[in-house]
Amino acid sequence: MEAASQSATVSAAGIRRIGPPQAIQKARENFFLVQAALSEPPSADWKRFFYDLQRDYPPDFPPRSIDMSGAALRFRAEPATVEQKIALIDRWIARANQKEASSGSRSEADRLRREEVVREHAEIAEWNARWAKL
């Protein structure tokens, strides 16, 4: 239960990246599909803020090159650029959270849905921890 209350605190603060990026597929020589887990699945409004607010990105890495699906985001990168791209993504996530919080776009129903998602993630994490040594 402690994990659930800790996760609820995270949800109130907005979405965040959890864990390090991971290469999930080799696209071509020295180029990978990289995935990073998010604390919760983003809403449509949050995604819009994430994609539309960014102004300080390199020409070879626009926000729209990042695919979001469920509670994960994916992008293609050379290993040498992953650290820089993750730093940008973290900054973009923070901006999207700030904009969403200031816009008041979270309705009560949305807030309840997010709390349920957080509880589900905590329950899944508990089961995965129990099954880790099977």
Alpha helix ranges (H) inside the chain? 2-13, 44-52, 82-103, 108-131
- Of 103 and 62, the structure prediction assigns the larger pLDDT to 62
64-93 confidence digits (pLDDT tens): 999 999 999 999 999 999 999 999 999 999
Quickly list DSSP for 17-36: EEEEEEEEEEEETTEEEEEE
State the chain's maximal CA–CA distance in angstroms.
Answer: 47
**Short-list 65, 58, 67, 62, CA closest to 38:** 67
Reported as a pLDDT band with limits 50, 70 and 90, residue 56 is: confident
Q: Is 15 exposed, middle or buried (0-12, 13-18, 19+ CB in 10 A)?
A: buried
Q: Is the pTM of this model over 0.95?
A: no
pLDDT of residue 53: 83
The answer to whether the beta carbons of residues 39 and 94 sit under 8 Å apart is no
**Sign of the CA dihedral 26, 44, 116, 6?**
positive
CB atoms within 10 A of CB 129: 10
Domain ranges of the chain: 16-106
Do residues 15 and 38 make contact, with C-beta atoms less than 8 angstroms apart? yes
Please give the mean pLDDT across all residues of the chain: 84
